[in-house]
Structure 1
Amino acid sequence: MAIKKVPRLPLRRGSHSSEDDFFDIPDEPCLAIVKRQIRRIRTWVAFILFILFILWLRKAPPPPPALPHINYDLVDWSRFAYSQYATSSDYLCNAVMVFETLHRLGSRAERVLFFPEDWDVSVDGNRDRDSQLLALARDKYNAVLIPIDIEMIRPGTGSGEPWDKSISKLLAFGETEYDRIIHLDSDVNLLQPLDELFFLPSTAVAMPRAYWELPDIKQLSSLLIVIEPSYKEYNALMEAAMPAMYGQKEVNTSSTHRYDMELLNERYADSATVLPHRQYGLITGEFRTDDHRNFLGNNYEPWDPDKALAEAKLVHFSDWPLPKPWVMWPQKLLAEMLPRCKQNPGTAQESGCRDREVWKKLYHDFRGRRKDVCKLLSYPAPDWPPIDRVESSESIA
């Protein structure tokens, strides 16, 4: 009887051969092996894509677009305007600079410029800069030029800008052909578009708070005013201004107080819509102070000058007793007012000077744009009040 030969190793599953001939006889066709490997790779790819999808869902959502419920392409922009006023060559240049920035930022609202009626747009020569700037505002930036009676703006007294010139911004309340007007002080660096303010809920005025006066004084700041034009409001404001205009009321004419702010606060302090000052009321003086609690609104948030500037829609030049940016700084006064570095100030090892860098750049940018837009340079400071004649070096206009 024949003896059945038993293999030394058991047969492999699916094969009639033992492990002895592993390298001689394949278990399955090569094509099947390839297909199985492809399925395995495909599974891993699908798994990785699924993980990436989960991570994408968990990431922070982007900030919503500004006012997504308003289609800017369907807005009748002839109903909205920005206003400026100019009663001197310096402020005329500033107004044109504001219009240039609005144009560059893509605002489609109209522009209104109030100017003395004895000026004109007839350019008599290269030195007739006022007429050139008026024509530039009208022709390039589509500004509506509105002449005003200069007699209502009488020369003021005091060391700084006279109160009676600032009263001209109240004229915007009477421009009832517009649904909304945004009036800006011309001594600002406009950083971002402001068109969203045209679509605030209905209110007579919207203004930021003069946060630098807190907590002692609670008042609105007139550096930016969102206005719903109304003859009623215009007449009420002008009537309230009459006693001061005709010398029947004593007015504080210092550069740290603006008479238009007083008028507006008397009428709207308890009814105005208050705009967030971080976006709409930042002043350059904030970069010179060590106490930022009024700006931040709390005691725990760290001050970051770059973050403050990134959030701001505009910055208002306010560093009294330093002159405005179109006047070059007196060097001695500048040395006293320059923002201090945080570590080892005044030494070769000083550091933490970011506030100073941001502050100086704001002035540098303004002067550069003044040269580009108006073809004007800043001029040397006149006999400016020395710092020891100022009640407080930290006063802010």
Structure 2
Amino acid sequence: MRLISRRRLRFFLYVLIGFIMVTIITRGIVQFQLNKEIKYYKRFFKENKDSLEQMFNPLEIKQIPEEVIDSLYSETLSRASKTNKGINWDKFAYVNYVTDASYLCNTLIMFNKLKTEFQTKAKLVLLVTKDLIEDNATNKEKNILMLASIKNVDSEQVRIKYVDNIVKPKDYTPWNESLTKLRVFNETDFDRIIYMDNDAALTANLDELFFLPQYIKFAAPMTYWFISQNDLKEAYHELQHDDRITLNLNNYNKQTISRIKKGKMIYNHLPSLPSSLYLNSKNVAQEIISSTSSASPLFDFHTSKKASKIKFASNIMVIKPSKETFDKILYELLPRALTKKEMYDMDLINEELYNLKKIVYYQFSLFRKLKSEFIPEVMVLPFGRYGLLTGSLRNKNHYSMISNDILGYKRMDNDGNELLGLDKSVADAKYIHFSDYPIGKPWHYVSIKEFECVPDAETAEDLDQETKACNIWNSFYDTFIQARSICN
């Protein structure tokens, strides 16, 4: 009896080893063939991008520089003026959401600036949770008055929508209601929305973002604060090695803007996000196979569980709302997120909805089936203009990065010198997020004197730089503290 059991055990062991060997060999063959195919298409798009009008490169995630965004906007306005069709601004909206009454004041500041100072014609939408005005709400009357003030910015342009809060059960962190933000994906009354966290300073309107290429469903800046100087060096090296290209961003901008004026497709000419910042290996084929095999432990033994160095920030997003996307969030992704520890809005967006690694896999899979029918859906925004953190104004390691916010590329002058300068970079910033841990949000303080930046450096050169950084940092917070008088 024992002898039979041993024979059976040995038989099953041989079968298992055989299965694993076949899996390894099969994977190797598939990876070899896939690598050949990827190399072919990389060369194809590099050599033919000037003549391609209906075929998008599926092997890259594209970044769009601010100069190109401005050119698209300018061309759209010019076309609308020439054809006398105008722009239907009712189909565009800026959106905030509020679950905590202390954030209402900054929504009022933002909406008032957008309307009176920046003169946007887009709708201004606030999603506010119903519990702020219910009978048992703390400061109910004050909340109602603040909401009335927000509505009075412009009774036609401003819309206030009451929504149900999404709260993580048994979660007592400050982010336990952050999943409510995902309701912005359901704003299907609009063709495109610009979602903004309202703990930020807005220095100009962002209307140009409404006119990103129409096929883009989601665009956001990268979480640049996770990147080290070594990561950037690797990204520069990767682009130079793979494409033998200049890293001067101006060269891309000139060519792309020229194509915009001629009404040509620009996607393949945009700078690519360096894959070393979001893939675990240099082998794209291996990453794609790993993405397809994640459900099988036996077939996924080469897959690294290492997280990407960067991901999409969720404090500002350009979204093309759709019922299909929101249904996926509501019925498929949210139930998992609510039961998973430490999964909040940005985690769900990056792990489930717009995972950088999976985007390349899905793009290439669709392309292999559809070729010219494949259309990309995501794009990376420049974080210097749209996703800057106030904390970076005091971080020397971020200064050169702020100037070069298209990752892997550099802004250079005509002599090939890198264009740097904290003051100019910040002057170009339109949306700056209040983020200076352990300093709290500015509405928790009476005066900037309670937390102002004071330069502290040993050398005269460092002192000069720190003084400039502190002055810029203080001015942003001081501007908010003065602006909040409107909330009284």
Q: Same fold (TM over 0.5)?
A: yes
- Of structures 1 and 2, the larger Rg is shown by 1
Partner of 1:358: 472
TM-aligned CA distance change 1:69 to 1:87, over 3 Å: closer
Could you tell me how far 1:345 is from its partner in structure 2?
A: 9.1
Counterpart for residue 49 of structure 2? none
The 5 A counterparts of 1:1-397 are: 66-70=73-77, 71=80, 74-103=86-115, 104-120=117-133, 128-141=141-154, 142-150=157-165, 152=167, 156-158=171-173, 161-162=174-175, 164-201=176-213, 202-214=215-227, 215=231, 217-238=309-330, 239-245=332-338, 248-251=339-342, 259-266=344-351, 267-268=353-354, 269=356, 270=359, 272-292=378-398, 293-297=400-404, 301=418, 303-328=420-445, 334=451, 340-341=456-457, 343-344=459-460, 350-352=463-465, 353-371=467-485, 373-375=486-488
Work out the CA distance in 2 between the residues paired with 1:329 and 1:351: 28
- Structure with more of its chain in helix, by fraction: 2
Q: Give the Cα–Cα distance (whole angstroms) in 2 for the partners of residues 340 and 82 of structure 1.
A: 39
- SS state of the match for residue 108, structure 1? coil
Q: 1:329–1:339: structure 2 CA closer, same or farther, 3 Å change rule?
A: farther
SS at match of 2:443: coil
For 1:67, what is the secondary structure of its paired residue? Answer: helix
* Contiguous gaps of at least 5 residues in structure 1: 1-62, 253-258, 376-397
Deviation (angstroms), 1:344 = 4.4
Residue 140 of structure 1 deviates from its aligned partner by: 2.1
The alpha-carbon distance between structure 1 residues 241 and 329, as it changes in their structure 2 partners (threshold 3 A), is farther
Separation in 2 of the partners of 1:148 and 1:261? 20
What's the offset of the Cα at 1:64?
A: 6.9
Three-state SS of the structure 1 residue aligned to 2:442 is coil
Name the CA shift for 1:143/1:154 in 2 (closer, same or farther; >3 Å): farther
Instruction: Tell me which moved more, 299-308 or 166-175.
Output: 299-308
Q: Normalization by structure 1: what TM-score?
A: 0.66
Structure-1 separation of matches of 2:186 and 2:442: 31
Structure 1 residue 228: Cα displacement: 0.5
Deviation at 1:200, TM superposition (A): 0.8
Kindly, what percent of the aligned residue pairs are identical? Answer: 31
Change (3 A) 1:354 1:220: same
Distance 1:342 1:358, change over 3 A: farther
- Seen in structure 2, the aligned counterparts of structure 1 residues 250 and 338 have a Cα distance that, compared at 3 Å, is farther
Is 1:288–1:339's contact at 8 Å kept on the other side of the alignment?
no
Q: Which has the higher contact order (CA 8 A, sep 6+)?
A: 2
Query: 1:240 and 1:367, CA in 2 relative to 1: closer, same or farther beyond 3 A?
Result: same
Deviation readout 1:81-114 (Å, 9 max, x if unpaired): 1111111221111212211111120010001111
Contact 1:121 1:131 in 2 (8 A): no
Contact 2:403 2:425 (C-alpha < 8 Å) held by counterparts: no
Kept in 1: contact 2:220–2:312 (CA 8 A): yes
Amino acid at match of 1:106: Q
CA RMSD, aligned part only? 3.3
TM-score by length of 2: 0.55
| C-alpha distance in structure 2 between counterparts of 1:182 and 1:146, whole Å | 16
Cα 1:331/1:244, change in 2 over 3 Å: same
- Runs of 5+ consecutive residues of structure 2 not aligned to the other structure: 1-69, 232-276, 278-308, 360-376, 411-416
**Cα distance change of structure 1 residues 310 and 331 upon mapping to structure 2, 3 Å threshold:** closer
